[in-house]
Amino acid sequence: MKVKVAFMNLSYLIFLNEQTPQPIKLIQQLLYNTSLIQDDHFMNFSGSNCLKYLLLIVQRTDQYFKENNSISSTLMMDIQHWIIQTIRKSKKSLHQEITYLLKLINPPSFHLLLPVKQFIFNELANILLENNQQNTDFWDRISLLSIIIKCIDNDNLENYQLPYHSSAIADDNADHIIIDLFFFYLRRLANNAIIQPALINKILLSRLSKINNANRIPIAEKIFNQLKEFFILQTTALLLCQTNLDQHDQQTINHILTAVINQYLRIEVPVIQLSNYVQFFCSIITTKQS
């Protein structure tokens, strides 16, 4: 019954969308393509497993609009909200279904624009953390990395690099978009955070959380270290741009600066070229002060 209700809600959104050409025809095609038109097919599912057909629904909807020379953007926005609403109604298998959806949006074959994927990722991450009282700042959400690792099928991450800007996502990252989404999610939260010395110190002292699959630990460590390096440099640079620093924190700040300089910002003499760390650190300060 829950699967029927979920699909009925989706059908209602299709009907309401004024840019959908012949909405009844699209709904019929979705019913046949997913085999959900067969009543006995519903009996094999529990929870909101209508989402298990999400890839098929998105692909068929996208194809339908192209065949009709129409724009699907507004309906795709409706579908992303439908996904979140459907997930929120699933209580017993919430964690399992969110993990499934995160796996689904990772491969390039899931044809949604990056901003749409980012919205879905952000909402799913927030739902996972809603009842976790330990998430008091953005870096606490690094705990999601253990789930992110489960969603990566391809272990070839030797050349993976964080995309410091969404326009800089490389082809090498195409199979690992979920890591990019996680990075952008954390960065957005960090940009809105109040930077305190205690937060930077917390990042400096942090360690990779437990990864159950031993084979995935090297991958997790690689991603974790890149995230840690980025946010140490970003938060330290932003801290130095503040004009209202508490003098009582000066000793902690000096300790942080010493650690960051020794680990990331050393400049070898003679200076031929500044390291990527130094360039990134300086660019943050320059951008903030301009």
Q: For the segment 101-119, what is each residue's pLDDT rounded down to a tens digit?
A: 888 888 777 777 888 889 9
Global pTM value: 0.85
Specify the 3-state DSSP secondary structure of 260: helix
Show me where the domains of the chain are located: 1-81
Top-confidence residue, 39 or 193: 193
With the C-alpha atoms ordered 280, 281, 284, 290, is the resulting torsion angle positive or negative?
negative
By the 8 A CB rule, do 105 and 177 touch? yes
Task: Give pLDDT tens digits for 43-62.
Answer: 444 445 667 778 788 888 88
Q: Give the residue ranges of DSSP H helices in 106-158.
A: 114-129, 145-150
What's the rounded mean pLDDT across residues 254-272? 89
**Cα separation values, 180 from 172, 177, 185, Å:** 12, 5, 8
Tokens 């991603």 correspond to what residue?
223
Residues 6+ apart with CB under 8 A from 200: 232, 235, 236, 239, 256
Task: Give pLDDT tens digits for 204-230.
Answer: 999 998 888 888 898 899 999 999 999
By the 8 A CB rule, do 183 and 162 touch? yes
With the C-alpha atoms ordered 38, 44, 50, 54, is the resulting torsion angle positive or negative?
negative
